[in-house]
A and B are shown apart, each in its own frame.
Chain A
Amino acid sequence: MTTETYVVAYEGDDDSTKVLDYAMASASKAGAKLYLVHILEWSPYSFLTPTEIEERTMRRKEELARAKSVIIDPALAKVTAAGLEAEGVIKYGSVVELVAETASTVGASMIFVGRSGSNSISSRVFGSVPLGLAQIAPVPTVIVP
């Protein structure tokens, strides 16, 4: 029997802890492995000043290093400490698109996402991550309240 993979959209805030805990509980029951995805919101069509352009590569390195050390690594440590298998990835782009895309590429059987931010005005106007995933996720998606 092949091991199932669960993708977890992991932001690193308090809500994400709940998502991760829930996903870990589900994974240990099913014997699944976790694949944590942390997305740094980024649009290639945003506008930058000349100084920001010059420093972009440097900033990107810093952002990736920070996301790895502060967000993904501690989460991975927590999952493996619980005796589960886990991998993590940090990507730039749109959260909804990349989480759905990652679920497809790693052949995940389920996505776990928090409900965080769903009540903000902007999420009501532009849609939130869980709502977006509900529309385009390639596999069943669990929204953890």
Chain B
Amino acid sequence: MSFKPAFLAVPGLALFASAAQASIDETINTAVGAATGPFVSFIFSPFPGTSFPWIVMWLVIAATIFTLYFGFIQFRAFPHSIALVAGKYSDPNDAGEVSHFQALATALSGTVGLGNIAGVAVAVSIGGPGATFWMILAGLMGMASKFTECTLGVKYRNEYANGTVSGGPMYYLSKGLTAQGKGGLGKVLAILFSIFCVLGALGGGNMFQANQAHAQITNIVGDYPGWITGIVFAAIVFAVIVGGLQSIAQVTEKIVPLMAVIYCGAALIIILMNIDKLGWAFGQIFSGAFTGLGIAGGLVGALIQGFKRAAFSNEAGVGSAAIAHSAVKTKEPITEGFVSLLEPFIDTVVICTMTALVIVITGVMTIDPDTGLYVWDEAAGRIATVDNASGVALTSAAFGSTISWFPYVLAIAVILFAFSTMISWSYYGLKAWTYMFGEGKSKELTFKVIFCIFVVIGAAMNLGPVIDFSDAAIFAMALVNIFGLYFLMPIVKAELTSYQSRLKSGEIKKFA
């Protein structure tokens, strides 16, 4: 463990850190790795005789079914979705209420984050450039899943007398299925979803974020123990979610969109600077999607990685967005479905693709000059990379190869993205928690404290166990949510038909 001079400036901390580091990190790694292992292997167990995890198939099939069932709604309703976000159908008398734009922006700040930066790097380095193709496809299909779940989120939300609202899969699963005479099933699914949502909030929404934020900081300032980052992060998260310091969260919510714009801007600049390689990069993406380019996993490997990362990044089918979108002011639940379908588009089709293009174009993944194929690093289980970088470090290296100072900007972006995702997921987790245990100060505080403890655990662990657990928890949410969506999709269809006919007849009119 080496420290850079900046850290020697605080010798007390450094010495203490150095001595305690190995034991604490290892202890946490072993304990959490052992505890989560069986859960992870169940979720990702492949179909017998193949390497294809059944859960990935589950998401793909769902997105395909929703796409077909709603007649390619993601393409048909795209212009109307933009009009809704622009406020063209918003009643001016509702000004001061949550607008479609605000609901979308808040949901996006929960999803745009490390999945777009680190997750894509993981997918492309394991599955090859071809993973990008499957990721885009999954993003496009996922738009239909998001449409379905967010419509239901608004339709079956709880509105309380004081004006606050609570919504999400736990509410539509129980209320929606009860209305269909399947109350028992609905309650079981709602509870299962809530359990997985709490785990997902602690995994992907928390530990993975803390872990990658720490990785990015060490990338800049040098190596130091993860639990230090963890404690600092946990203290800030604690101040916001327990101390009620919404001002910190507000600042983050305002900076995050700016960061997303800067990130996409930088990616575009890099792509434009290497415009001559763009055709080649797309060639790699397309041929890799179907041939695997000789990468160990081949076509299936690329597909699995692409779909996994898309799902982890845009959360379509997972149900989390339905919680975020359910508070919008609208008389028509379906309008929030339309708005939410833009989310996977922005998140995956635009932002994730940019990350993938930058990684492919800048050549940070090693290519064998003789064969023109990527060099497989057997020990690491992925393509060999510059400086052996993986995850967020690989994305950072790719941006840094063209814009030398960009890793510093990226580090700030990663930290802010991580933070805003944590705040969003602490809310999702809390909603699931209170659904199970009831609302109340002490019950809420219990969850919030557990959440903060997991920040420290996440920052201290190695990437492997963290990413596996966070994936597993998020996918487990999708397992329950999608199962329920199959029963509830006719309700969405009825809403859609009614809305479209009223839009056509002019009953639903434009205000602007």
Q: Are B106 and A48 in contact (CB under 8 A)?
A: yes
Interface residues, chain B, CB within 8 Å of chain A?
Answer: 87, 90, 92, 95-99, 101-103, 105-106, 109-110, 162-166, 246, 249-250, 253-254, 256-257, 323-324, 327-329, 423-424, 427-428
Closest Cβ of chain B to A14, distance in Å, is: 25
Q: Are A47 and B105 in contact (CB under 8 A)?
A: yes
Mark interface residues in A19-41 (1 if CB within 8 Å of B CB, else 0): 00000000000000000000010
Q: Which residues of A contact B254 (CB under 8 A)?
A: 47
Q: Are A45 and B98 in contact (CB under 8 A)?
A: no
With known contacts A56-B327, A58-B164, A49–B87 Cβ distance under 8 A: no
How far, in whole Å, are A91 and B93 apart by their CA atoms in the complex? 8
How far, in whole Å, are A95 and B246 apart by their CA atoms in the complex? 26
Q: Are A53 and B96 in contact (CB under 8 A)?
A: no
How far, in whole Å, are A50 and B421 apart by their CA atoms in the complex? 11
Q: Are A54 and B87 in contact (CB under 8 A)?
A: no
Q: How many of chain A's residues touch chain B, expressed as a range?
A: 20 to 34
With known contacts A49-B249, A49-B423, A63–B103 Cβ distance under 8 A: no
With known contacts A44-B90, A44-B102, A47-B102, A52–B96 Cβ distance under 8 A: no
How far, in whole Å, are A134 and B258 apart by their CA atoms in the complex? 32
With known contacts A57-B164, A61-B163, A52–B97 Cβ distance under 8 A: no
Q: A44-B87, A49-B427 are in contact. List 20 more A-B contacts (CB 8 A).
A: A44-B101, A45-B102, A47-B106, A47-B109, A47-B250, A47-B254, A48-B253, A49-B249, A49-B250, A50-B110, A50-B323, A51-B249, A51-B427, A53-B324, A54-B166, A56-B97, A57-B97, A58-B164, A60-B96, A60-B97
Q: Which residues of B contact A52 (CB under 8 A)?
A: 246, 250
Instruction: Indicate if A55 sits at the interface (CB-CB under 8 A).
Output: yes
Interface of B is mostly: helix
Closest Cβ of chain B to A64, distance in Å, is: 8
Q: Which residues of B contact A57 (CB under 8 A)?
A: 97-98, 163-165, 329
Q: Which residues of B contact A46 (CB under 8 A)?
A: 102
Q: Are B101 and A45 in contact (CB under 8 A)?
A: yes
Q: Which of A45, A54, A91 contacts B164 (CB 8 A)?
A: A54
Q: Are B165 and A54 in contact (CB under 8 A)?
A: yes
Minimal Cβ-Cβ distance residue in A for B424: A50
With known contacts A49-B106, A49-B423, A91–B99 Cβ distance under 8 A: no
Interface of A is mostly: helix
Offer 13 A-B interface pairs, CB within 8 angstroms, sorted by A. Answer: A44-B99, A44-B102, A45-B99, A47-B102, A47-B250, A48-B250, A50-B110, A53-B102, A53-B103, A56-B98, A57-B163, A60-B163, A91-B95
Closest Cβ of chain B to A121, distance in Å, is: 19
Q: Inter-chain contact count A-B, CB under 8 Å?
A: 88
Closest Cβ of chain B to A58, distance in Å, is: 3
Q: Are B95 and A51 in contact (CB under 8 A)?
A: no
Q: Which residues of A contact B328 (CB under 8 A)?
A: 53
Q: Which residues of A contact B323 (CB under 8 A)?
A: 50
How far, in whole Å, are A40 and B96 apart by their CA atoms in the complex? 8
Q: Which residues of A contact B256 (CB under 8 A)?
A: 47
With known contacts A47-B106, A50-B110, A63-B96, A55–B257 Cβ distance under 8 A: no
Minimal Cβ-Cβ distance residue in B for A64: B96
How far, in whole Å, are A63 and B173 apart by their CA atoms in the complex? 34
Closest Cβ of chain A to B255, distance in Å, is: 9
Closest Cβ of chain B to A44, distance in Å, is: 4
Q: Which residues of A contact B166 (CB under 8 A)?
A: 54
How far, in whole Å, are A63 and B109 apart by their CA atoms in the complex? 26
Q: Are A92 and B253 in contact (CB under 8 A)?
A: no
Closest Cβ of chain B to A101, distance in Å, is: 9
Closest Cβ of chain A to B2, distance in Å, is: 39
Q: Which residues of A contact B327 (CB under 8 A)?
A: 53-54, 56
Q: Are A49 and B253 in contact (CB under 8 A)?
A: yes
Q: Which residues of B contact A59 (CB under 8 A)?
A: 163
Instruction: Indicate if A93 sits at the interface (CB-CB under 8 A).
Output: yes
Q: Are A49 and B96 in contact (CB under 8 A)?
A: no
Q: Which residues of A contact B103 (CB under 8 A)?
A: 53
Minimal Cβ-Cβ distance residue in B for A40: B96
How far, in whole Å, are A90 and B163 apart by their CA atoms in the complex? 19
With known contacts A50-B324, A53-B324, A42–B95 Cβ distance under 8 A: yes
Which 5 pairs show the lowest CB-CB distances between chains A and B?
Answer: A92-B96, A58-B163, A44-B99, A57-B163, A92-B95
Closest Cβ of chain A to B307, distance in Å, is: 27
Q: Are B163 and A47 in contact (CB under 8 A)?
A: no
Q: Which residues of B contact A49 (CB under 8 A)?
A: 106, 246, 249-250, 253, 423, 427
Minimal Cβ-Cβ distance residue in B for A55: B164
Q: Which residues of A contact B246 (CB under 8 A)?
A: 49, 51-52
How far, in whole Å, are A82 and B173 apart by their CA atoms in the complex? 60
Q: Are A50 and B423 in contact (CB under 8 A)?
A: yes
How far, in whole Å, are A50 and B253 apart by their CA atoms in the complex? 10
Q: Which of B87, B97, B106 contacts A50 (CB 8 A)?
A: B106
How far, in whole Å, are A45 and B103 apart by their CA atoms in the complex? 10
- Name A78-130 residues within 8 Å CB distance of B: 91-93
With known contacts A53-B324, A57-B163, A48–B98 Cβ distance under 8 A: yes
